[in-house]
Every structure is written in C-alpha cells, then in structure tokens.
C-alpha cells in the first residue's frame, strides 16, 4: 500500500529539489523556444537540463509516496550522488551555453544561462546540506572518495565524447584513444551500477581487488591516450586561420585537456584504492 509523506517535500532538501525542478524546467523551455541548434554542445546542455528535471521529479515522487524505501538500492547514497552529478552537469552547461550560444541581444539565451547558474547553485546547496546534516545511515559507495572519483571519471568521459568528431580519429593512434575513453567509461559505469545495486557479493572473488586492477589499468591506458592524442592531433596541424568561435581544431584541444584531467583522476583513484585495499584494511 502506498502512503504519502508530506514531510519529504516540506523539509529543506525537499524544498531545494522542488526549486531545482522549477529552474531546470524553465531553462530547457527557454532554450527550446529559441530553436534547435545542430551542435553536440547544445545537445549536451539540453540533455543536462531535461535529465536533471526528470530525475529530480522522480526522486520527489518516490520520496513523497514512500516507494523509495522499497527500492533495492541505497536510496540516500543515490540521491546524494545524483545531486553531485547534477551540480557538475549544470555547471558545465552553465559555462558551455553562454560561451557558444548567447549574444548581447539574445534575451532568452541570457535568461537561460542565468537560470542554469541558479540550478547549479541549488544543487550545490543540496550537496552541502546533505553532507552537513546526514540522516545517520551507513555511508554508501557513491558518497565516499572512491565513489566520487568514479562519477568524475564518467563525467569527464562524457565531456570527451561530446567533443569527438568522426572525421578526427582516422589514424590508428586516435582510434586507440577513442577505445581507451570508451572502455574506461563503460567499466566505470559498470562498477557504479554493480555497487549501488548491491550486486558485488555475487562475485566469487574480491570485488575491491578487481576495482583496483581496473583503476590501475585505466590509469595506464589514459596515460597513453594523454600522450598519443595531442601527438597525432596537432602534428602538422596548426589552428586554421578561419577557425571561428568553435571549430574542429578547438575540440581537439578540449579532448586533450579533458584527457589530462581524467588521467589525473584515474591516477589518484588508483593510489587511493591501492591504499584502502592493501594497506588500510590490513592495519
């Protein structure tokens, strides 16, 4: 039997989530009224606002109907992780959209940019509030340093995919880099899903050690991509003189920067997981 919990929408976190729903809805409506733009960056921004709107609505409904307590996952861990992810996504969209799609005489685009920044602020406040006022449950995977780094790895990979163009990776070196980005992303998502779904116990071996192996291998693979991508992308390929606000060459720079950033995250994740599994657990 479904019961309703009015306290879930009147408490501070519920109010913040309600505000997030309104702001994300306003943002994607403003952008949609301007019209479609054939750009992966525009698609990312629209996906961000629609995704955050839909999932936040779903969280509010499940909490209000108390159905969240019947789900086979660590609900508070999931909602905290989503707030962090939504904050990162809104932050990236709040930077990307005004840079590439807003002008001084574009009121709806300017309004959407401002509201998107407000979305980021609300999600950031929710993250801070939930960490300062925990409910007393056991800390889940996504709320730990390891879980946060896994989300960062997947998030940065999404930014890389957004900047890739099929005409860019024609050489074997660049194809290797794309394979690195894809494989590491898939396994990062798989680890997150298995962990929050509490399915790690089905393995007949230590799942933590498998994660350590994955982290080390992924870090090494990203190290190769960090070297190979700029080497094959910029060799005999200076920035074109007719490259405007954003061209294919600029996207190569974005992929290079995000590759370095994600490589650093994987290295830190590897070092932290090795310390946790092989040192801290034996003390």
The pTM assigned to this predicted structure is 0.86
Q: Which of 18, 122, 126, 118 is nearest to 63 (CA)?
A: 18
Residue ranges with strand state E in 92-241: none
Provide the angle, in degrees to the nearest 10, between the axes of the packed helices 107-132 and 75-101.
150
Report helix, strand and coil shares of the chain as percent, to nearest 5: 80, 0, 20
Instruction: Say if residues 199 and 72 touch (Cβ distance below 8 Å).
Output: no
Alpha helix stretches (DSSP H) within the chain: 7-10, 12-34, 40-64, 75-101, 107-132, 145-163, 172-196, 207-234, 248-274
CA distances from 189 to 159, 171, 186 (A): 15, 27, 5
**What is the SS3 assignment for 86-130?**
HHHHHHHHHHHHHHHHCCCCCHHHHHHHHHHHHHHHHHHHHHHHH
Between CA 244 and CA 250, with CA 246 as vertex, the angle to 5 degrees is: 110
**Cα separation, 232 vs 159, whole angstroms:** 20
- Residue that has been written with the tokens 């071996």 in this structure: 205
pLDDT at residue number 205: 78
Q: Which of 20, 49, 266, 16 is nearest to 151 (CA)?
A: 266
Instruction: Say if residues 49 and 111 touch (Cβ distance below 8 Å).
Output: no
Residue 74, token pair as written in the block: 């660590």
DSSP state of 282: G
pLDDT at residue number 72: 75
Structural domain boundaries of the chain? 1-142, 144-237+246-282
**Cα separation, 264 vs 269, whole angstroms:** 8
**Cα separation, 230 vs 257, whole angstroms:** 10
CA distances from 216 to 189, 241, 261 (A): 16, 41, 16
Instruction: Say if residues 9 and 15 touch (Cβ distance below 8 Å).
Output: yes
- How does pLDDT run along the chain (283 residues), one tens digit per residue? 667 777 778 898 999 999 999 999 999 999 999 988 888 899 999 999 999 999 999 999 999 988 888 887 778 888 888 999 999 999 999 999 998 888 878 899 999 999 999 999 999 999 998 877 666 555 677 778 888 899 999 999 999 999 887 766 678 888 999 999 999 999 999 998 888 877 777 877 788 889 999 999 999 999 999 999 999 888 877 777 777 666 777 788 889 999 999 999 999 999 999 998 887 666 6
């Amino acid at each position: 039997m479904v019961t309703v919990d009015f306290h879930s929408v009147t408490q501070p976190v519920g109010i913040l989530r309600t505000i997030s729903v309104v702001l994300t809805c306003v943002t994607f409506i403003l952008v949609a009224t301007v019209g479609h733009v054939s750009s992966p960056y525009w698609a990312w921004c629209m996906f961000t606002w629609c995704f955050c709107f839909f999932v936040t609505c779903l969280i509010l409904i499940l909490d209000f109907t108390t159905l969240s307590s019947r789900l086979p996952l660590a609900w508070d861990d999931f909602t905290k992780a989503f707030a962090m992810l939504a904050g990162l996504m809104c932050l990236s969209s709040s930077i990307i959209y005004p840079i590439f799609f807003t002008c001084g005489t574009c009121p709806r685009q300017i309004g959407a940019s401002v509201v998107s920044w407000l979305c980021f602020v609300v999600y950031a406040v929710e993250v801070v509030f939930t960490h300062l006022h925990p409910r007393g449950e056991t800390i889940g995977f996504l709320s730990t340093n390891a879980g946060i780094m896994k989300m960062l790895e997947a998030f940065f990979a999404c930014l890389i995919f957004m900047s890739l163009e099929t005409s860019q990776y024609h050489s074997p070196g660049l194809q290797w880099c794309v394979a690195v980005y894809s494989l590491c992303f898939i396994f990062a998502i798989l680890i997150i899903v298995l962990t929050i779904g509490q399915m790690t116990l089905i393995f007949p071996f230590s799942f933590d050690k498998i994660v350590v192996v994955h982290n080390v291998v992924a870090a090494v693979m990203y190290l190769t991509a960090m070297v190979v991508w700029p080497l094959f992308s910029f060799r005999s390929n200076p920035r074109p003189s007719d490259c405007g606000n954003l061209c294919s060459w600029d996207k190569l720079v974005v992929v290079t920067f995000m590759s370095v950033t994600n490589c650093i995250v994987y290295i830190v994740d590897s070092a932290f997981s090795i310390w946790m599994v092989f040192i801290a657990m034996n003390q």
